[in-house]
Amino acid sequence: MYSNVGGFVCNIANTIILLYSIVFYRESTATAVSALNHVFWLAAHVNGLLFSATSAIIVNHVVRIRCGTYVV
C-alpha cells in the first residue's frame, strides 16, 4: 500500500536529487531535450508533493471531524 508519508518522502528525495543534478551537473541540461526532461520531472515531483500534502490535509480534517476534538 502506498502511504502518504512514503510518497511525500520519496517526492522530497527525488526533488532534492533532481535539483542537485541541475545545479552541480550543468552538462546534464546541455541540450533542449534534456532541459525539458528535467523541467517535466521537476513539475511532476512538485505535483506529487501537492497531492501528498492535500491528502494529508483531508485525512487530518476527516479525523478531526469524526473524533470531535478540537485543539485551539
User: What cell numbers appear for 64 in the block?
Assistant: 478531526
pLDDT band at 2 (very low <50, low <70, confident <90, very high): low
Distance from chain centroid for Cα 50: 6
Q: Which one, of 38, 39, 50, 54, lies nearest residue 12 by Cα?
A: 50
3-class DSSP state for residue 70?
coil
Is residue 29 assigned to a domain? Answer: yes
Number of domains in the chain: 1
Q: Does residue 60 lie in a domain region? A: yes
> Nearest-5° angle of CA 63, CA 66, CA 68?
105
| Enclosing domain of residue 38 | 4-67
The neighbour count for residue 1, using CB atoms within 10 Å, is 3
pLDDT of residue 53: 87
Tens of pLDDT along 9-50?
888 999 999 999 989 998 888 899 999 999 999 999 999 899
Do the domain assignments include residue 72? no
